[in-house]
Amino acid sequence: MSRRRIIIGTRGSALALCQTEWVISRLQAACPAIATEKRIIRTTGDLARENAKGKDVGKGVFVKEIEEALLRGEIDLAVHSLKDLPTELPEGLCIGAVPERADPRDALVSNYSGLAQLPYGARLGTTSLRRRAQLAGFRRDFQFFDLKGNLDTRLRKLDEGQFDAVVLGCAGLERMGWASRITERIPLEVCMPAAGQGALALEVRADDKATLEQVRLVEDKEARCAVDAERSMLRTLGGGCAVPIGACGFVKEGKLWLLGVVASVDGEVIVRREICGSPDRPEEVGRELANELSDAGAKDILRWNCGST
């Protein structure tokens, strides 16, 4: 394979840069002929996070400008946290590869030993509706407060005593070398992660055969199978509106297991289901679970929150 340079677009946060370096190391290990150049791109989400006073800025805003640069040919490859990608990609783009996935679970970071040990009326820092709803279902006494900023900023706010605990992603803490800060890896039956959480997406132009060929060298088939099922479930449910939806898939003993949850915003109603299917048909498995969730009550939750019919 001839030597070529791949220009990689990424956000400028410490975590985004860390993830990009990790991808570069995997690409170069798989193909030493690859030369890379990083290009930092400021996104709408970065600006919104700075100015939105802690509000959840929504899916897609952390990738828009990067995808535009990719479509213009200014970069060859984009590295994203997969959970930030909308389930429908712009025409002409595709997920070229999903590398090995980190722990998809949510993490409790606290001076207390776990969720059950937090004091009555504990102050939890998280802006995520998905986390708030499920944790409210676990304990009604929890108080939730907005938590914005990059990982280091969020941890600093905890250390300053603004919260009794904060809820973050295990994967981000691990990639930054801060796994020791994790107090508890929250069980899936308590808080289901976002679809794609813990995974990275290597997004490329669909007609760029050379880059596609090279990024596929770092594809992890089981991770790809799991996230394809999760994203299919989310897409079928219509995950574009502000409804707490979680999903987690994994391959075990040759079978694809997919778990899903849809909750009301206040956590009063939580619908959970899981199914097992063929890893050769992940999108079909995702659609099947979405339909089971809908039949079990998720349809009503979606109607209440989105005005869907």
Backbone torsions φ then ψ of 79, nearest 5 degrees: -105, 120
Interatomic CA distance for residues 247 and 226, integer angstroms: 10
Interatomic CA distance for residues 300 and 296, integer angstroms: 9
Interatomic CA distance for residues 21 and 240, integer angstroms: 30
- Residue at token pair 């985004």: 16
In contact, 166 and 147? CB cutoff 8 Å? yes
The residues facing 253 across adjacent strands are none
**How many residues can be counted in the chain?**
309
Give the active site residue among 46, 84, 164, 208: 84
Element (H, E) at 167: strand 165-169
Distance set, CA 136 to CA 74, 131, 132, 248 (Å): 44, 8, 6, 20
Q: What angle do CA 175, 85, 230 make, to 5 degrees?
A: 85
What is the sign, positive or negative, of the torsion defined by CA atoms of 243, 13, 77, 227? negative
Q: What angle do CA 146, 237, 300 make, to 5 degrees?
A: 80
Active site residue 84: yes
What is the sign, positive or negative, of the torsion defined by CA atoms of 255, 278, 190, 59? positive
In contact, 3 and 73? CB cutoff 8 Å? no
Residues labelled as active-site residues? 84
